[in-house]
Chains A and B, each alone.
Chain A
Amino acid sequence: MITRATLSTIEQGLPKYRSMLAGNAAYIPSGWFSIATTTASGGESSITMSSIPSQYSVLIVRINAQVEAGFQNNNGISIRFNGDTGGNYARQHLTASSSSTSANGTSGASSMPVPGDVFPSNTRANYFGVAQIIIPDYADTTKTKSLVFHAGMNVNIDTMRYARKGGGLWTGTAAISSITFLPQYTFAAGSTFSLYGAI
Chain B
Amino acid sequence: MPQTYEPIATVNPSGTTLVTFSSIPATYTDLRIVANVIGASAGNDVFMYFNGDTTGTYDQEFMTQNGGSPYPGNYQNTQYYWSAPFSYTSTTRPIVLIADIYDYAGSKFKSILTTTGEGEWPQFAMAIWKSTAAINTIVVRCGVNFAADSNVTLYGIKAA
Contact = CB atoms under 8 A, between A and B. Distances in A.
Contacts of A163: 60-63, 124-126
Contacts of B109: 126-128
B92 to A, nearest CB: 28
A94 B160 contact: no
A15 B124 contact: no
A92 interface: no
Contact of A32 (B3, B71, B107): B3
A135 B76 CA distance: 33
A175 to B, nearest CB: 19
Contacts of A37: 29, 159-160
B12 to A, nearest CB: 23
B132 interface: yes
B63 A150 contact: no
Nearest to A98: B74
Counting contact residues on chain A (CB < 8 A from B), the size range is 35 or more
Interface string A51-67: 00000000000101000
B18 interface: no
Contact of B159 (A13, A130, A154, A194): A194
B73 A150 contact: no
Contacts, number: 133
Given A64-B111, A94-B63, A99 B73 contact: yes
Given A94-B70, A154-B60, A34 B158 contact: yes
Contact of B61 (A13, A62, A97): A97
B100 to A, nearest CB: 7
B70 A32 contact: no
Contacts of A19: none
A162 B4 contact: no
Nearest to B115: A150
Given A126-B109, A162-B126, A100 B102 contact: no
B56 to A, nearest CB: 12
Contact of B63 (A101, A127, A154): A101
A152 B72 CA distance: 14
Given A34-B158, A64-B111, A100 B72 contact: yes
A14 B2 CA distance: 10
A130 B63 contact: no
Nearest to B127: A154
Contacts of A98: 61, 72, 74
Given A32-B157, A35-B160, 8 more contacts: A33-B4, A34-B4, A96-B72, A130-B100, A156-B76, A161-B126, A162-B126, A163-B63
9 contacts: A64-B103, A96-B62, A127-B108, A130-B100, A150-B113, A156-B74, A163-B61, A194-B159, A196-B5
